[in-house]
């Protein structure tokens, strides 16, 4: 598979404010690659370095040591910074911090305008982007009057209108209600499945991670686990030790197996769980 982003032995730290500028290491020689068209979730507790890593993916941050290569471009190469940022768009947690204009369609147009795209094309892109996130009917509304989920979809449209090859989302659903979360996940999945867009999703919701192709778990600036959701979530105890969680279905199976019930540990979905449980109950002679 073709690599889209690769981080090769990257280290990064922040200077501490109080302790004489002491360097606090956040990423320590991390290696990671993300393939073209992949839908990857990054999990980790607060402070594990996942947002810092995400900011390396479009050159908001550059590593002290090592290289990040995005679509063949090194983020250390200052001449490529704009190209890198056009190819990787970012969406952050709080939609209020990302909206700049007073009308939805103007906000979505902000990115492409800055790229120097001609106005007819901008109109087409804004229309398409707003339709992709199902916010077209709100194009003339004021963003501050929208709900959180709607605002976040406008923020996503603003990124889509720049037509990036990859979209990096840092907890885009943290502030949303269940419906808003479903809408954002559907939008992102559609961009990935239908348009082949590479998606990196940072999240604290295990059910969202379960919907991705691949899950990367970070701890202390390093990659702890990396694999398909079914593999990663079988490590229930390891995940809990690093302050994470597993979907409730996986936890139930894990707890039952601890209590001596023979049940597969890689169950993520409700239907799967119901089937596995009814198999077991049937074997035990419990009649339905």
Partner 1 sequence: MAVIKIENLTHVYSQGTPFEKVAVSNVNLEIEQGEFVGVIGHTGSGKSTLIQHINGLVAPTSGKIYIDGQDLWQDKVQRHAIRFKVGLVFQYPEYQLFEQTIYDDIAFGPKNMGLDEQEIDKRVRRAAEFVGLTADMMEKSPFELSGGQKRRVAIAGVLAMEPKVLILDEPTAGLDPKGRDMILGQIKEYHETVKSTILLVSHSMEDVARFATKALVMNHSKMFMYDTVENVFAHASEIEKMGLSVPQISKVVMGLRAKGYDIPANIHTVEGAKQAILKLAQQGGMTNA
Question: Interface with partner 1 by CB under 8 A: which residues?
Answer: 17-18, 44-47, 93-94, 145, 147-150, 171, 174-181, 204, 206-207, 243-245, 247-249, 251-252, 255-256, 259, 261, 270-271, 273-274, 277-278, 280-281, 284-288
Cβ closest to partner 1, residue 33 vs residue 278 = 278
Distance CA 265, CA 231 (A): 9
How many angstroms from the chain centroid is the CA of residue 146?
23
Cβ closest to partner 1, residue 120 vs residue 271 = 271
Cβ closest to partner 1, residue 81 vs residue 174 = 174
Cβ closest to partner 1, residue 41 vs residue 126 = 41
Cβ closest to partner 1, residue 81 vs residue 175 = 175
Cβ closest to partner 1, residue 75 vs residue 150 = 150
Is residue 77 classed exposed, middle or buried when 0-12, 13-18 and 19+ CB atoms within 10 A define those classes? middle
Cβ closest to partner 1, residue 1 vs residue 286 = 286
Using an 8 Å Cβ cutoff, are 249 and 272 in contact?
Answer: yes
Q: Which two tokens stand for residue 47?
A: 């402070």
Cβ closest to partner 1, residue 29 vs residue 148 = 148
For the bound state, the minimum distance from the C-beta of residue 148 to partner 1, rounded and expressed in Å, comes to 5
Using an 8 Å Cβ cutoff, are 208 and 181 in contact?
Answer: yes
For the bound state, the minimum distance from the C-beta of residue 111 to partner 1, rounded and expressed in Å, comes to 25
For the bound state, the minimum distance from the C-beta of residue 118 to partner 1, rounded and expressed in Å, comes to 34
Distance CA 198, CA 213 (A): 11
Which residue from 161, 141, 159 is spatially nearest to 150, judged by alpha carbons? Answer: 141
For the bound state, the minimum distance from the C-beta of residue 288 to partner 1, rounded and expressed in Å, comes to 4
SS3 content of the chain, % helix, strand, coil (to 5): 40, 25, 35
Distance CA 200, CA 34 (A): 8
Distance CA 97, CA 49 (A): 21
User: How far are the Cα atoms of 9, 118, 123, 165, 230 from residue 67, in angstroms, in the given order?
Assistant: 7, 34, 37, 20, 31
For the bound state, the minimum distance from the C-beta of residue 110 to partner 1, rounded and expressed in Å, comes to 24
Positive or negative: CA dihedral 236, 182, 212, 7: negative
Q: Which two tokens stand for residue 212?
A: 């991705």
Using an 8 Å Cβ cutoff, are 217 and 44 in contact?
Answer: yes
């Amino acid at each position: 598979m073709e690599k889209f982003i690769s981080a090769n032995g990257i280290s990064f730290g922040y200077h501490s404010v109080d302790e004489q500028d002491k360097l606090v290491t956040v990423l320590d020689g991390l290696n990671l690659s993300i393939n073209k068209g992949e839908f990857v979730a990054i999990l980790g507790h607060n402070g594990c370095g996942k947002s810092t890593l995400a900011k390396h993916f479009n050159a908001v941050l550059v590593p002290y040591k090592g290289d990040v290569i995005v679509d063949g471009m090194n983020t250390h190469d200052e001449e490529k910074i704009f190209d890198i940022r056009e190819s990787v768009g970012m969406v952050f947690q709080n939609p209020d911090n990302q909206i700049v204009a007073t009308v939805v369609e103007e906000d979505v147009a902000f990115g492409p305008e800055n790229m120097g795209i001609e106005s007819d094309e901008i109109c087409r892109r804004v229309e398409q982007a707003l339709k992709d996130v199902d916010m077209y009917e709100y194009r003339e509304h004021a963003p501050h009057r929208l709900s959180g989920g709607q605002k976040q979809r406008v923020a996503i449209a603003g990124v889509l209108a720049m037509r990036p090859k990859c979209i990096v989302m840092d907890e885009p659903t943290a502030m949303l209600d269940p419906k808003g979360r479903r809408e954002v996940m559907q939008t992102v999945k559609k961009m990935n499945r239908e348009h082949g867009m590479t998606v990196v999703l940072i999240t604290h919701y295990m059910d969202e991670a379960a919907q991705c192709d691949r899950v990367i778990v970070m701890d202390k600036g390093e990659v702890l686990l990396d694999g398909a959701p079914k593999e990663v979530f079988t490590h229930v105890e390891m995940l809990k030790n690093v302050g994470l969680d597993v979907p409730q279905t996986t936890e139930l199976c894990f707890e039952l197996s601890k209590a001596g019930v023979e049940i597969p540990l890689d169950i993520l979905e409700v239907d799967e769980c119901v089937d596995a449980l009814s198999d077991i109950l049937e074997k035990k002679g419990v009649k339905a």
